[in-house]
Structure 1
Amino acid sequence: MRLVIARCSVDYAGRLTAHLPSAPRLILVKADGSVSIHADDRAYKPLNWMSPPCTLKEGEGDSSGVWTVVNKAGEKLIITMEEILHDSSHELGVDPGLIKDGVEAHLQELLADRIETLGEGYTLIRREYPTAIGPVDILCRNGEGGTVAVEIKRRGEIDGVEQLTRYLELLNRDPHLAPVKGVFAAQEIKPQARVLATDRGIDCVVLDYDALRGIEDDKLRLF
């Protein structure tokens, strides 16, 4: 990543035009080719930017202080440098990504360990049950001995219901498993997803992440 702090003006020419008058700004040039211009406010949001793929050409000769960034659509971001206050490059390497508390993999692990959360008599068959179209998060049996496929999301939306529907169609072709019921489990389930799931005979379960981790809720309860 290249960090440049400079007094500059910026012009954007493309489907629309925009102009940033001269002021001190931070310019980020990332390894993916993106270029963004930031002020000392607005949190993370840039004043203007060019997303990859794009090319950056630093001017030469009389135009040595002009940077021109062009994307594949021919749109241009023209940065006119008046004074460069700082210019440095840093190799950040491959980022491991953000690890969030309560991601789907952790929810899956917790629910598998506490499968009785789904109901009395539930037993685990296995996590990540393989199918031809991808692994089912949890395959288990209910109190009556029937097979249940569980799809787990942090936020339950229509796409998750569609995904579980495809798994159920495939699993119900296996005479050793059929009939297979579905459970759509998430920390939050959107109303539209709940309606679709109910229409398809899929049960919805809202997961309490703290309860799955065995953390006592110190809030007062009426019942």
Structure 2
Amino acid sequence: MRTVSPCLSYPRGVRLVIARCQVDYAGRLTAHLPMATRLLLVKADGSVSVHSDDRAYKPLNWMSPPCWLIEDGKLWIVENKQGEKLVITIDEIFHDHAQELGAEPGLQKDGVEAHLQELLAEHIKTLGDGYTLVRREFPTAIGPVDIMARDADGASVAVEIKRRGEIDGVEQLTRYLELLNRDPLLAPVQGVFAAQIIKPQARVLAEDRGIRCLTLDYDALRGIESDEFRLF
């Protein structure tokens, strides 16, 4: 039976096929996989990939979306708009299962801003010798500053923390500083823009505004042992 699918037949799902097959690719170059048992993966994003049992996540061959899967009996032809073809000749199918996965909530990465804030507050001397913590989430009329601290001379320091430091973060800290410096009890308030990665454009803008940039090493912060309960 011949069926044609734009690789969208399994919405929010995936199709797993374990089969003995050979695979031929024709496009900008040619490639051939001789007959063997492999995993064929058809995903809702339009991709079709061919996997072995010894290459971790990396496929032996694949076709990226958008593409179309034509099933003609035991012959699969995957073709994209450029005319490239992945031809899968199936000798025997051992398993064929389609499963809807549901909505994807997205990856929650270790080292998110809240955790970076917590770690930096706990180890405030990462900012420099003599620094002390005033408080986390220091309130202002336009939102909380991630960390308010004082340097060795007692001057106020406002710290904005990002996982990835970009121009928007510098602008946000600039607004906080403008507001905080109107308070005679705090002024002058210095600014520190802290992130795991700081984009070059953001660094240039920050330094032009007198804001110090600090690159945070998340693993090093997480590895620092608290001396709160140590005897020595």
Bucket of the pairwise TM-score, normalised by the shorter protein: 0.5 to 0.7
Q: Which residue of 1 aligns with 2:132?
A: 121
Q: Could you tell me which residue of structure 1 aligns to residue 3 of structure 2?
A: none
Tell me the SS of whatever aligns to 2:223. helix
Q: Look up the match of 1:68.
A: 77
SS in structure 1 of the partner of residue 35 of structure 2: strand
Letter aligned with residue 70 of structure 1: E
Is the partner of 1:204 in helix, strand or coil?
Answer: strand
Task: Return the offset for 1:47.
Answer: 0.2
Structure 2 match to 1:140 = 148
SS in 1 for 2:172: helix
Match of 2:98 in 1: 89
- Corresponding residue of 1:11: 24
- d(CA) in 2 for partners of 1:72 and 1:206? 44
Question: Structure 1 length normalisation: TM-score?
Answer: 0.67
Partner of 2:4: none
In the TM superposition, what is the alpha-carbon distance from 1:197 to its structure 2 partner? Answer: 9.6
Aligned pair count reads 198
1:19/1:107 CA distance change after superposition, 3 Å: same
Query: What does residue range 161-180 of structure 1 map to in structure 2 within 5 Å?
Result: 162=167, 164-174=169-179, 176=182, 179-180=189-190
The question of 1:54 aligning with 2:60 is answered no
Q: Provide the rounded CA distance (Å) in 2 between the counterparts of 1:102 and 1:45.
A: 26
**TM-score (normalised: structure 2):** 0.65
| 2:212 partner letter | I
Gaps spanning 5+ residues in structure 2: where?
1-13
Deviations 1:13-67 (A, max 9, x none): 22322222222111011232221101121111100112223222212xxxx2221
CA displacement 1:103-135 (0-9 Å, x = unmatched): 4432223434x374445333126279897xxx8
For residues 129 and 72 of structure 1, the distance between their equivalents in structure 2, rounded to whole angstroms, comes to 54
Q: Does 1:44 align with 2:50?
A: no
Structure 1 spans left out of the alignment, 5+ residues? 154-158, 217-223
Match of 1:111 among 114, 120, 125: 120
